Amino acid sequence: MANKVFVGSLSWDATEDQVRELFSQAGEITSIFIPVDKFSNKPKGFCFVEYGTDEETAKAIEMFNGQEFMGRNLVVNEARPREDRPRRFDDNRGGNDRGNFRRGGYSR
């Protein structure tokens, strides 16, 4: 088992300190990562919590999966490695073809 858990259905208002306070009940946290949207700079509604041992990780999953936190029921499970996704616009058109833009602009 990896030492990192995925926490889904997290409130967008949750701060790192609030997540740390809750999840530290399962053991010593080594890191917390809350991704934010690059355009709005707001949290995406999930995070990753890393523990020092497998036992702490299993305890966190058992304790917090389905538990209500800030008005939402958390989904907590073992974090999986990120999957390789195919590139978007990978059809030999040169990248960001946005409709009529490459063919002379927008209709006026």
What's the predicted TM-score (pTM) here?
0.76
> pLDDT band at residue 88, thresholds of 50, 70 and 90?
low
Residue 28, CB-side half-sphere exposure with 13 Å CA sphere: 3
Instruction: Give alpha helix (H) positions in 8-100.
Output: 16-23, 54-64
The mean pLDDT of 73-86, rounded to a whole number, is: 90
pLDDT at 87: 73
Enumerate domains of the chain plus CATH numbers: 4-78 (3.30.70.330)
pLDDT: which is higher, 97 or 4: 4
Residue in 64, 63, 6, 58 with CA at minimum distance from that of residue 32: 6
- Percentage with pLDDT > 70 across the chain: 80
pLDDT: which is higher, 98 or 4: 4
pLDDT reading at 23 higher than 90: yes
